[in-house]
Amino acid sequence: MGNRVRQRIAGVVITVWTILGAPELSRAEIPTLLQKLNLTGYPRVTKPPEFNGRAADGRTISLASLQDQVVLLNFWATWCQECRPEMPLFEQLHRKFAGQGLAVLGINAREGISAIQKYVKELGLTFPLVLDPRGEINAAYGVIGLPATFLVGRDGRAVARAVGPRDWNSKEAFEIIRALLSEPKQR
Amino acid sequence: MSADNPFSQETFADSLKLPYPLLSDFPDRKVIRVYGVLNEQTMTAIRTFFLIDPQGMIRKKWILANPATDVVYSPTLLKDIEQIVNTR
Q: Which of B7, B12, B15 sits opposite A49 (nearest CB)?
A: B7
What per-residue confidence (pLDDT) applies to A162?
98
Cα gap A162→A112, rounded to integer Å: 25
Residue B4 sits at the chain A interface (C-beta within 8 Å): yes
B79 backbone dihedrals φ, ψ, rounded to 5°: -60, -45
* pLDDT at residue B4 tops 60: yes
In chain B, what residues touch A140 (CB-CB under 8 Å)? 5, 7-8
What per-residue confidence (pLDDT) applies to A154?
97
Residue B43 sits at the chain A interface (C-beta within 8 Å): no
Query: What per-residue string of b and e applies to B22-54 under the rule 16 or more CB within 10 Å gives b?
Result: eebbbeebeebeebebbeeeeebbebbeeeeee
**What is the CB-side half-sphere exposure of residue A52 using CA atoms within 13 A?**
2
Cα gap A13→A22, rounded to integer Å: 11
What DSSP designation does B27 have? T
Count A/B contacts: CB-CB distance under 8 Å. Answer: 39
* pLDDT at residue A18 tops 50: no
Mean pLDDT across chain B: 92
Distance from CA of B5 to the nearest CA of A (A): 7
Q: Is A57 exposed, middle or buried (0-12, 13-18, 19+ CB in 10 A)?
A: exposed
Give the residue from A45, A132, A141 with the most B CB atoms within 10 Å of its CB, the best one to mutate.
Answer: A141
What per-residue confidence (pLDDT) applies to A27?
66
Residue B9 sits at the chain A interface (C-beta within 8 Å): yes
CA separation, residue A154 to residues A71, A74, B68 (Å): 8, 17, 41
Q: What is the pTM of this model?
A: 0.85
Residue pair B72/B47 in contact (Cβ under 8 Å)? The answer is no
Judged by average pLDDT, the poorest of A21-35, A135-149, B50-64 is: A21-35
What per-residue confidence (pLDDT) applies to B60?
93
Cα gap A102→A28, rounded to integer Å: 21
* pLDDT at residue B17 tops 80: yes
The reply to whether residue B15 touches residue A163, judged by beta carbons under 8 angstroms, is: yes
* pLDDT at residue A25 tops 80: no
For residue A6, name the pLDDT band (cuts at 50, 70, 90): low
* pLDDT at residue A19 tops 50: no
Q: Per-residue pLDDT averaged across A6-15, rounded?
A: 57
Cα gap A22→B64, rounded to integer Å: 55
Distance from CA of B28 to the nearest CA of A (A): 16
Q: Per-residue pLDDT averaged across A148-171, rounded?
A: 97
Residue pair B17/B40 in contact (Cβ under 8 Å)? The answer is no
Residue B83 sits at the chain A interface (C-beta within 8 Å): no
* pLDDT at residue B26 tops 80: yes
Decide if the complex's ipTM is over 0.90.
Answer: no
Residue B44 sits at the chain A interface (C-beta within 8 Å): no
Tens digit of each residue's pLDDT (9 = 90 or more) over A127-140: 999 999 999 999 99
For residue A122, name the pLDDT band (cuts at 50, 70, 90): very high
Nearest to A152 by CA among A78, A71, A42, A58: A71
Tens digit of each residue's pLDDT (9 = 90 or more) over A69-97: 999 999 999 999 999 999 999 999 999 99
